[in-house]
Amino acid sequence: MKISAQSEEAKEINLLFSGLQVYFVSKLNALALQFGEGKSCKSVLWECDKGKHGGGKRYEARDKSLFNQASIHVSEIHYEDKKDKTLESSSVCSATIHPDNPHVPSLHFSVSWEKMKEEKGCWHLMADLNPSILNEATLDQNIFCETLKKATGKLYADGAAQGDTYFNIPVLRRNRGVSHYYLENYSTGSFEEEKAFVLVFYESLIDAYISIYSAKLMLQSTYTEEKKEEQLAYHTLYLFQVLTEDRGTRAALLEHDQNDLGILASLPSHINKDILSLWGEKMPVPQDLLLNQILKVLPKVVPTPVDEKCKKLLANTIRKHYKKYPIE
């Protein structure tokens, strides 16, 4: 049984994040009813140290007529009872949506609240729009950027610049998506003000994305095999960034091994291993070794499935690599 953190702040954060999760899940279920087979998302639970130090719940989309892969995750880890841990509690709400239709862009967002012992808590806010077909992305990009600007006001420019840096892939000389936002260590000194900001930020983002998704399905409900190949190539880039560049994924996997499937639920269902292998020569040492090990774990077929068994192997591969070659 999951035991929650005892601080009042942590309790309020978990209520906020659970509300955002339910809100987004209801929107995805409505999409499935309107455009798909009507299959609602299913819930999956996980526990940290058998629930003693927290855990969480994620919802996974089941309507494969609409979603390649989709997950909305809320979790909490706390070490209030462990004197050897500097972390008191950490809560996160994250979502990754990879549509089946290649004309519809993928979405990722994450918001976390972290409190170290003897310190005040702070927030990390992240969001990015990730289209598979770049030459169709201008309108969606504008909608997403305008939503971010309206929700964040004077904080937009700094967050957008940090987001572009965070999601940059140096060896490929491009960013992961077309609109990125990352606000690190956000704190105003007013807990209620911060909660209100987070709520407006992510509800408006969810609403904007659902509008983009619905419009795309109404205008471009069908697609060619060529467009699916473009999507597969982009999903390969997405996996590459998550597994070799993403600091959040790396930190979460190194923290513990009890939620590997939840952490790697951000990965698309299939990639193109042949394309991935071409990037090995671009990788610096020792990241080239990491990519080589990733390639060994992935099945030898194209399209290359990234199933649960594969995700567990990938998680162990990443942990093993960074324990041997830690990044300061």
- Every domain range in the chain assigned CATH 3.40.1500.10: 8-223
List, for residues 273-322, the tens digit of each pLDDT value.
999 999 999 999 999 999 999 999 999 999 999 999 999 999 999 999 99
Q: Which helix (H) or strand (E) holds 183?
A: strand 179-186
List, for residues 185-234, the tens digit of each pLDDT value.
999 999 999 999 999 999 999 999 999 999 999 999 999 999 999 999 99
List, for residues 59-98, the tens digit of each pLDDT value.
999 999 999 999 999 999 988 888 778 888 999 999 999 9
How distant, in Å, are the alpha carbons of 1, 54, 117 from that of 88? 20, 12, 5
Contacts of 296 (CB under 8 A, 6+ apart): none
Least confident residue range of 8-22, 76-90, 159-173, 193-207? 76-90
Model confidence, pTM: 0.96
Classified by CATH at the fold level, domain 8-223 comes out as oxygen-dependent coproporphyrinogen oxidase (3.40.1500)
Contacts of 268 (CB under 8 A, 6+ apart): 68, 69, 98, 106, 235, 238, 239, 306
CA distance 42 to 24: 13
